[in-house]
Amino acid sequence: MKIRKVAGGVTAPQGFRAGGMACGIKKDQPDLALLVSEREASAAGVFTTNRVKAAPVVLSSRQIRGGKARAIVANSGNANACTGEEGLRDARTMVESTARALEIPPREVLVCSTGVIGEPLPMEALTRGIETLASRLSTQGGETFAQAIMTTDSFPKSTAREVTTHQGAFRIGGAAKGAGMIHPHMATMLAFITTDLEVEPSTLQKSLKEAVDGSFNRITVDGDTSTNDTVLMLANGASGIKGEGEVLEAFALALEEVCRELAHMIIRDGEGATKVVKIAVKGALNREEAEKAARRVANSLLVKTAFYGEDPNWGRLAAALGSSGCFLDPAKLSIHIEDVEIVRGGLGIPQAQEAAHQIMGRKEYTVTMDLGLGTGEYWIWTCDLTYDYIRINAEYRS
């Protein structure tokens, strides 16, 4: 079994066409994306846990229950969230327009939206756009698809893998958008994954859920949970290979790689972020405690501004840990920035400050906090909190 990186994003696997265009939601920028499988595909989805769910989330989570789909239509610039009955009608119209243009049944179309909350969709522009875009799809369209789902993202997020097994080769491709409202628990982004492996819907759902837990659920930009987060996956079997036994294991591995690379792109492109920091907690009483501690530290504004200031301010790390509610004996705590120990037995090591400060000048590093109590571990990616986060979010709509 061999996994290697390939180009092409969501159209890297066989039997998928995709594309993107500017339909008029945003000003002269791509805002409509379409992804189609040449044959019916197994479909899986993971959706936001926010109680306020956008219309497309409500609709797609219903549509996907059948476990089969062929197309995904997505727009950026408008989230179609908090739009009531009209929003649901609009999401349904997007599905129907797509089905008509592609000559497939509406039940095989999934829909996603991302952008501003609470504004009605410009349906005329959208319907016309869908019709045009349907005729322009291409097996090379992965990158334009990734561009069309961007909001405040500063670069398109796309990747793919080829997995070679004894049974032959299959591929997994993915595209994502992130930037703001990035918070664990399927909160805050869109991601679309394709594969030409043949996988049963229930197996696909399980694999996707596991991959999401090890990737998209481990990133946090601002602790805010979006109304629209969605990860959708289509498996069309075009490679002729069945997802069973060893092949399925290889598939799970490569799928996690794809999801993790996309998640890393999202955190790297967090609003205003200049650094990616991996917060690793170990030595907790159990995994749940470790996760609670890691999430609290990753979301502390004081910790995130210290990362921006490249300040090895371990007091803030300790204070955040202490407020997480996880069991803690300060006298057993040690903290490393990469391999530099800055806290041992709960006490700072002053002579390590300069070396730690140097490492914190990097674009990416790991902070490891060992609670010294048990074997519970968890890690999560966070980013620094900067002036630009404020600028982007204070000015978003004006």
- Token pair in block for residue 67: 């476990």
Site size with its own copies, rule: CB under 8 A: 67
- Token pair in block for residue 154: 């500063």
Task: Write down the least CB distance from residue 192 to its own copies, Å.
Answer: 22
CA distances from 283 to 58, 223, 314, 375, 379 (A): 40, 24, 18, 5, 12
- Does 136 help bind its own copies (rule: CB under 8 A)? no
Task: Write down the least CB distance from residue 397 to its own copies, Å.
Answer: 5
- Does 270 help bind its own copies (rule: CB under 8 A)? no
- Does 385 help bind its own copies (rule: CB under 8 A)? yes
Q: Is 43 helix (H, G, I), strand (E, B) or coil?
A: strand
Site for its own copies in 95-124 (CB under 8 A): 116-119
34, 81, 250, 263: which one contacts its own copies (CB under 8 A)? 81
306, 340, 367, 383: which one contacts its own copies (CB under 8 A)? 306
Task: Write down the least CB distance from residue 309 to its own copies, Å.
Answer: 3
Which is closer to its own copies, CB of 36 or CB of 293? 293
What is the number of other CB atoms lying within 10 angstroms of the CB of residue 327? 15
Task: Write down the least CB distance from residue 95 to its own copies, Å.
Answer: 21
Please check whether residue 196 is in contact with residue 204, taking contact to mean a CB–CB distance below 8 angstroms: no
1, 4, 7, 49: which one contacts its own copies (CB under 8 A)? 49
CA–CA distance, 253 with 243 (Å, rounded to integer)? 12
Task: Write down the least CB distance from residue 395 to its own copies, Å.
Answer: 6
- Token pair in block for residue 30: 């791509």
Please check whether residue 177 is in contact with residue 190, taking contact to mean a CB–CB distance below 8 angstroms: yes
- Does 273 help bind its own copies (rule: CB under 8 A)? no
- Does 346 help bind its own copies (rule: CB under 8 A)? yes
Please check whether residue 100 is in contact with residue 63, taking contact to mean a CB–CB distance below 8 angstroms: no
Site for its own copies in 192-251 (CB under 8 A): 222-227
- Does 316 help bind its own copies (rule: CB under 8 A)? yes
Task: Write down the least CB distance from residue 293 to its own copies, Å.
Answer: 10
Stretch that binds its own copies, among 26-34, 130-138, 259-267, 346-354 (CB under 8 A): 346-354
- Going by C-alpha positions, the residue among 244, 130, 148 that lies closest to residue 192 is 148
CA–CA distance, 388 with 366 (Å, rounded to integer)? 23
Active site residues: 188
Which is closer to its own copies, CB of 57 or CB of 235? 57
Q: Judging by beta carbons within 10 Å of its beta carbon (0-12, 13-18, 19+), is residue 53 exposed, middle or buried?
A: buried
Task: Write down the least CB distance from residue 93 to its own copies, Å.
Answer: 18
Residue 122 phi/psi, 5-degree rounding, is -80, 90
154, 345, 364, 375: which one contacts its own copies (CB under 8 A)? 345
- Going by C-alpha positions, the residue among 225, 24, 22 that lies closest to residue 121 is 24
124, 168, 240, 302: which one contacts its own copies (CB under 8 A)? 302
- Going by C-alpha positions, the residue among 265, 335, 330, 339 that lies closest to residue 306 is 335
What is the number of other CB atoms lying within 10 angstroms of the CB of residue 154? 11
- Does 142 help bind its own copies (rule: CB under 8 A)? no
105, 240, 245, 330: which one contacts its own copies (CB under 8 A)? 330
39, 51, 351, 361: which one contacts its own copies (CB under 8 A)? 51
Task: Write down the least CB distance from residue 52 to its own copies, Å.
Answer: 3
- Does 361 help bind its own copies (rule: CB under 8 A)? no
DSSP codes of every residue in 241-285: -B--HHHHHHHHHHHHHHHHHHHHHHHHT-TT---EEEEEEEEES
CA–CA distance, 370 with 188 (Å, rounded to integer)? 29
Stretch that binds its own copies, among 63-71, 247-255, 299-307, 362-370 (CB under 8 A): 299-307
Interface positions with its own copies (CB under 8 A): 49-53, 79, 81-84, 116-119, 180-181, 183, 187, 222-227, 299-302, 305-306, 308-309, 311, 313-316, 318-328, 330-331, 343, 345-348, 385-387, 389-391, 393-398
